[in-house]
Amino acid sequence: MDNYFSIELKELVSQSREIAIDLGYDYISTIHFFLADCESKSENSILKFGFKDEIEYRNFKKHCKLAKADLLDLIDENLPLTKEAELTIRLAETERILNKQLQCYPFHLFIAALKNKESLLFECFQNDKDALEKLTQYYRNLGEFEKEKLTENEISRQYYDSERRTGNSFLNKISKLLKLTK
């Protein structure tokens, strides 16, 4: 499964771990994926979609940081993914297949997060009823949906393979990816 992850998505997952630690969390959620992508300064970053400018982003990030008294002991640096982050990653793989793309990119993850009503990122955008549609259009305008397409045979095979996979083996691969980035 992780061989379908693009370099950008692997870097995003890795950076989300660092963001979570810097903010004082002992877990990784979709908010940490979001902040990591905003920090990436990529031309396809969700930063331009989520915030009107850098100042608004910095203010949002300040509110995400735990107060010093609330900081958790981070001796164990194996940060787990929250259930909503795990589900969002699984849904991102489905988005990749539905969009007939060879690799899973960060934009698949963010579209999946806005579809996942359990995700913390969904909560951030819940007041904007058109957020998913706007985000999809944002990524269309950037050309994200045109990246490396699958053939019809690959689509069928990968769809059925993803149906047979267990969640545990998939999550084990994500855990390995997070451990490799220590």
Please work out, in degrees rounded to the nearest 5, the angle formed at the alpha carbon of residue 139 by the alpha carbons of 117 and 38. 75
pLDDT at residue 104, rounded to an integer: 93
Rounded CA separation 35/152 (Å): 35
Residues facing 149 on adjacent strands: 101
pLDDT at position 76? 45
Residue 155 has what pLDDT? 53
Q: Which residues of the chain have pLDDT under 70?
A: 1-2, 66-78, 150-182
Packing angle, helices 54-64 and 30-40, rounded to 10: 150
pLDDT at 162: 54
Task: Delimit the domains of the chain by residue range.
Answer: 2-180
Q: Which CATH superfamily is domain 2-180 in?
A: Clp, N-terminal domain (1.10.1780.10)
What is the pTM for the complete model shown?
Answer: 0.77
- Helix, strand, or coil here: 45? coil
How do residues 87-122 score in pLDDT, each as one tens digit?
999 999 999 989 989 899 999 999 999 999 999 999
